[in-house]
Structures are given as C-alpha cells and as structure tokens.
Amino acid sequence: MGKPSRLPESGPAHVGIIMDGNGRWARLRGLPRSRGHQEGLQAARGIVQSAAELGLSYLTLYVFSTENWKRTSDEVGFIMGLVRQYLKKEIDFCKSNFIRVRHAGNRKGLDEDILNDLDDVCRETEHFSGLQVILALNYGGRDEIIRAIGKVTERGLPLSEENLTLCLDNPDIPEPDLIIRTAGEFRTSNFLLWQGAYSEYHISSKLWPDWTGSDLEEAINIYNMRERRFGAVYEDVR
C-alpha cells in the first residue's frame, strides 16, 4: 500500500537524478571530498523521503557510474562505504514507508557483500507498492545497452527497439519523465541513455548536498509547465 499522490495526474511518474557537486561543496568549505559525499548521502535520504511524501512512483539515483572507478581508491572506498551504510540503515525507513528498492547497473565489479546487502534490501521490499527507489550503482547507459544487446542475442530475439527495451536492467519501469542534474553541469554523463531519449531535463545550479525537498518540488512544478511532444506536434500528443 502506498500513500496517495500529491502530484497532478500529468506530473512525472519517474524522476532520475544525477547527484553532482559533492566535491565542490566540500572544496568550498575547505573540507575533504569525503565530507561532501557524506553530506550527499544525507541529501539523498531527504530527497527519498520527499519523493515518497509527494507520491512519486519512481526515483532513480545515480549513485556510482561505470566511470567512477577512475577516482582514487580512497574515494571509491569511501563512496562504497556510504552505499553499505545506506543499504543497512535505510531498510527500516523503506519498510515503514512502503518503499521498494531496486538496482540498475552491472553486478560485475561490485563487492560480494554489497551485492548481498543489495539483494537483501531488494528482496525484502519487493512487495511494496509505494515509491520505487532505483539505485544506479556501477551503472553506465552504454554498458546497460551492450548488456541488453547480449541478452537479446542470447534469447534469440531479433534486434529491435522493443526487444532491446525488454532486455534493459528494469524493463517494467517507465522511462524517466524528468532527469535532474545538480551543480550546473549540462551533461548526461552516461545516465539512462536509452530510457532518457525523450526525458525533460532540469539543470539546477545548487550543489547536491544543498538539495532539499523544496528543490525537488520546484523542479517538478517547472516540469509540469512544459509541453512534451515526443517528436510529434503538440496537437497529436494531447
């Protein structure tokens, strides 16, 4: 059972967030980058809570990309530590708010204990019908497309848009209506490349650790004023 939605029917069902600016947030304060990531985790917690309160159906968070392994081993280790913490600590919050947790990304490369915790959280919350939080962890849009092509071939299917979509990491999840990027950067950074073909983008100059529920509401309100055409003319999609 989920909470009733506070969003209009035409509001976004699925929002994806590229959480950028943790490092800059820390540098501006003369703090180590790790502190920025720590604050970034707090911001992510707050946004999950706000998304649940707003009645959003799907929220994809870009936690760690297939390219983020290029960072120092200290930084990678620190972020993975935060992921471990999140997976262990948030389970009760998810359960009491009917939140379902899911994973998008490549399992290969992730530590065994993280995979076990991820599988546990996903299994323990799979029956909830409230907000679905998709953790994009060791995720890359190109990597997902290549793996999907592999599955299409393995299943002996002809290569088509429909069949490739069916072989994505979470084929039942609708494409993101809105993709938010914080810290003022205008890049996709390999996030939901296939699913985001017609997503609306919202770029916020605020750094991720400063993001709150009211920023999410503002981004959604701006989205609600947009006209989506999906390549057609406006009259055809009304």
Interacting stretch for ligand FPP, rule CB under 6 A, among 78-86, 103-111, 172-180, 228-236? 78-86
User: For residue 137, what are the CA distances in angstroms to 102, 128, 147?
Assistant: 10, 21, 15
| 20 catalytic residue (yes or no) | yes
Indicate which single residue of 11, 12, 23, 130 sits in contact with ligand FPP (rule: CB under 6 A). 23
* 86 counts as binding ligand FPP under rule CB under 6 A: yes
Residue 99 to residue 88: CA distance in whole angstroms: 15
Quick one: 19 or 219, whose CB is closer to ligand FPP?
Answer: 19
Strand partners, 102: 134
- Is residue 19 part of the contact set for ligand FPP (CB under 6 A)? yes
For residues 29 to 68, the per-residue mask of contacts with ligand FPP, x marking binding by CB under 6 A and - elsewhere, is --------x--xx--x----------------x-x----x
Q: Does 188 bind ligand FPP (CB under 6 A)?
A: no
Rounded to a whole number of angstroms, the minimum distance from the CB of residue 70 to ligand FPP is 11
- Catalytic annotation present for 117: no
**One residue of 16, 21, 105, 130 binding ligand FPP per CB under 6 A:** 21
Cα Dmax for the chain:
55
The rounded distance, in Å, linking the Cα atoms of 11 and 223 is 8
Region 158-187 residues binding ligand FPP, contact defined as CB under 6 A: 183
**Nearest residue to ligand FPP, scored by beta-carbon proximity:** 23
Which stretch in 17-25, 148-156, 186-194, 217-225 sits in contact with ligand FPP by CB under 6 A?
17-25
Q: For residue 204, how many C-alpha atoms fall within 13 Å in the half-sphere facing its CB?
A: 26
Catalytic pick from 20, 169, 177, 215?
20
Name the nearest CA neighbour of 86 among 30, 33, 55, 47: 47
- Residue 25 Cβ, how far from ligand FPP at the closest point, in Å? 7
Site size with ligand FPP, rule: CB under 6 A: 18
For the CB of residue 87, give the shortest distance to ligand FPP in the complex, in Å: 8
Nearest distance, CB of residue 138 and ligand FPP, angstroms? 12
Q: Which of 22, 68, 111, 116 is catalytic?
A: 68
Residues that bind ligand FPP (CB under 6 A): 19-24, 37, 40-41, 44, 61, 63, 68, 79, 82-83, 86, 183
List active site positions: 20, 68
